[in-house]
Amino acid sequence: MKNKSNLLRLMDFAGGYKFFTIGSIVLAAVSACLALVPFVYVWKIVDEVLTVMPDFSKAQHIEDYGITAVKYSVNAMCIYFMALACSHLGGFRTVANIRKKCVAKVLRMPLGHVENEGSGKIRKIIVDSTAAMDNYLEHILPDRTVAITTPIAMITLLMYFDWKIGLMCLATTILGFIIMYAFMVGPQLKKDMEAYNIALENMTKEAVEYVRGMPVVKTFGQSVFSFKKLKKAIDDYAKFTISYTERFRVSMTSFTVVINSAFAILIAVALYYGSSSADHEFFSNLMFYIIFTPIIGVTLHKVMYSSEADMIVGNAFARIDTVLDVPETKESNNPKIPNDFSVEFSNVTFRYQDSTKNAVDGISVKIPAGSQVAFVGPSGGGKTTSASLVSRFWDVTDGKILIGGVDVKDIPQAKLSEIVSFVFQDSKLLKTSILDNVRMAKPDATEQEVMDVLNRAQCADIIAKLPDGINTIIGSKGTYLSGGEQQRIAIARVMLRNTPILILDEATAFADPENEEKVLKAFDEISKDKTVIKIAHRLSTVVDCNQIFVLNEGKIIENGTHQQLISQNGMYSKMFGDYQKSVEWKIIN
């Protein structure tokens, strides 16, 4: 499929709607042919005027010729309007099909891939790339059809009136095509377009990062150094675009001169024959070419820009393929349901794609149903990765993860989401009401059910201060929540889901002291009778866990209760001592 042309790939996505696009191509070609006919009738008017001059009263057909020219022009415009209507109908539906396929693919992607890539990046790829395809189908394709059809019809007309002058004019067209092909087609231009897009993306990325970091810049009084990366990205973009433009200066100038040189040929011909005994028919034909040749330049410019559009669509397909080519989370051919809600890691190894080192390296852990355990250790030790394997954010490279004795790969995805919930350290709320944010976990929940879980999640004070209570739209009219408040709303959402296995990933990381207390109370409420895996740097939150596993470089190097690990005087004991010192640290006036 990827070896097909861009247009054929678009037709594959269009399905039954491809006939709209085909119709637009046919209608645009007909319009292009009709649009040339008025030039013939304008020439007939000029010819008749030259024939009867100076006695213009003998001109009998000028009005008829003029009306006929107008009729053909109007018909050409109407048919082109129909072509655009068809192209828009086909374009809308084709782009809708591509977006639906991409979104369906995202739903089948490993959640870890979505988390790593970022929803914003994936959304930008889908929206921006399909927008380029939409523009191609709706506008570029009909224009390109006109641009290709017009020269074919032009050749017929050029050769019909006077084949000698026609060949002279045609020579400039052919030379223009050769020059255009030389600098508009080829692998180097494709590389240039890719480099341009990369430079543009880097500049956009650094601009966004600079805006996001503005509070830090203002807080610490940073000056020119705060936008050093942004300035470099802008300078790189400017340097590339200027060099790119200068490289095509000679080619573009030559192209423009050549396609407009038909007039020079016509002038030379007129001067040559003007000094000899040229007949009336010759000069009449010459007038046709003078009227007609301006179309050549316009047509070739359209062909040139349509070639650029081809590269843009090809680049858009390359980006869309980065979404469609992601390996899917596979469903088992032999689905099973767990007997209980214990969790077991059996010699589990996991390595990220393109990495040479295991993120999780042969760990084996048994977590009884209803118990609470913690994964702790230095950053990059494999804590979050290990926990994310339970809910199949990624699939293990080697070994197995079992829930209730059943390999998670054999549990249907829909069922697994009913068993395992994940509370992230930076839980996101959508720009909708508190009610709808919580209801995401259970769309058919009543308003009273939502209020109950909000109260249990220590959110009563949040609801009380909002102007419209649980119907308040987050992010509207200056209504925003702190990190800790968002976390409590997210906990309420998980409470409503009420899954038997719960994973808490640094869930108090963005909570201030006041919010942390309420978040911890919410955790106590949500964790009742659940199998809980906690991932924490704040070690005070894990001291009561049934078992603590210390991970470093993807391996479990220590495990036991809090007291047992303290007595071992190992990594955990040192980490806990350092944590206590950090808590006791104060600024003295």
Please indicate, yes or no, if residue 338 is contained in any of the structural domains: no
pLDDT at 549: 93
pLDDT at 220: 47
Residue type at position 409: K
Please indicate, yes or no, if residue 137 is contained in any of the structural domains: yes
Average the pLDDT over 506-534 and give the result: 72
Query: In a 3-state reduction of DSSP, which class is residue 399?
Result: strand
Q: Are residues 313 and 353 in the same domain?
A: no
Q: Are residues 96 and 139 in the same domain?
A: yes
Top-confidence residue, 588 or 259: 259
Average the pLDDT over 160-179 and give the result: 70
Selection from 187-191, 274-278, 328-332 with the highest mean pLDDT: 328-332
Least confident of 28-32, 239-243, 415-419, 542-546: 239-243
At residue 21 the predicted structure's pLDDT band, cuts being 50, 70 and 90, is very high
Please indicate, yes or no, if residue 329 is contained in any of the structural domains: no
At residue 183 the predicted structure's pLDDT band, cuts being 50, 70 and 90, is low
Average the pLDDT over 202-208 and give the result: 69
The answer on pLDDT for 415 being more than 60 is: yes
Decide: 555 and 375 in contact? Cβ < 8 Å. no
Top-confidence residue, 418 or 159: 418
Of 290, 324, 358, which one is at a domain's C-terminal end?
A: 324
CATH code assigned at 93: 1.20.1560.10
pLDDT > 70: percent of the chain: 78
Least confident of 150-159, 278-287, 310-319: 278-287
Domain around 483? 343-584
How many other C-beta atoms are found inside a 10 Å radius of the C-beta of residue 569? 10
* Backbone angle region of 330, left / alpha / beta, with phi > 0 → left and psi within -120 to 50 → alpha: beta
Nearest to 484 by CA among 467, 466, 506, 503: 506
Alpha helices in 352-432 (DSSP H): 383-390, 413-419
Please indicate, yes or no, if residue 115 is contained in any of the structural domains: yes
Average the pLDDT over 246-257 and give the result: 75
Of 324, 353, 383, which one is at a domain's C-terminal end?
A: 324
Average the pLDDT over 419-425 and give the result: 83
Q: Are residues 297 and 432 in the same domain?
A: no
pLDDT at 2: 60
Q: Are residues 223 and 157 in the same domain?
A: yes
Selection from 175-184, 212-221, 333-342, 424-433 with the highest mean pLDDT: 333-342
Of 291, 324, 357, which one is at a domain's C-terminal end?
A: 324
pLDDT at 211: 64
Please indicate, yes or no, if residue 41 is contained in any of the structural domains: yes
Provide the mean pLDDT of the chain. 80
CATH code assigned at 537: 3.40.50.300
Tens-place pLDDT, residues 284-328: 667 776 766 667 666 766 666 666 677 788 888 888 988 888 888
The answer on pLDDT for 454 being more than 60 is: yes
Q: Are residues 369 and 496 in the same domain?
A: yes
The answer on pLDDT for 40 being more than 90 is: no
Top-confidence residue, 539 or 165: 539
Top-confidence residue, 271 or 60: 60
Q: Are residues 185 and 136 in the same domain?
A: yes
Q: Are residues 430 and 287 in the same domain?
A: no
Please indicate, yes or no, if residue 96 is contained in any of the structural domains: yes
pLDDT at 508: 58
Please indicate, yes or no, if residue 512 is contained in any of the structural domains: yes
Q: Are residues 292 and 440 in the same domain?
A: no
Sheet architecture: strand order including 501-505:
420-423, 501-505, 531-535, 372-376, 547-552, 555-560
Tens-place pLDDT, residues 103-134: 888 888 887 777 777 666 788 788 888 888 99
Decide: 10 and 133 in contact? Cβ < 8 Å. yes
Please indicate, yes or no, if residue 332 is contained in any of the structural domains: no
Q: Are residues 143 and 239 in the same domain?
A: yes
Residue 186, φ and ψ in degrees, nearest 5: 135, 165
Least confident of 44-53, 91-100, 345-354, 454-463: 44-53
Q: Are residues 449 and 312 in the same domain?
A: no
How far CA 367 is from CA of 3, 215, 412, in Å, comes to: 50, 43, 21
Average the pLDDT over 162-180 and give the result: 70
At residue 25 the predicted structure's pLDDT band, cuts being 50, 70 and 90, is very high
At residue 58 the predicted structure's pLDDT band, cuts being 50, 70 and 90, is confident
Q: Are residues 379 and 293 in the same domain?
A: no
- Cα–Cα distance for residue pair 501/389, rounded to 1 Å: 13
Q: Are residues 285 and 368 in the same domain?
A: no
What's the pTM? 0.68
- Per the structure, the count of domains in the chain is 2
pLDDT at 59: 77
Top-confidence residue, 419 or 518: 419
Nearest to 153 by CA among 140, 136, 165, 166: 166
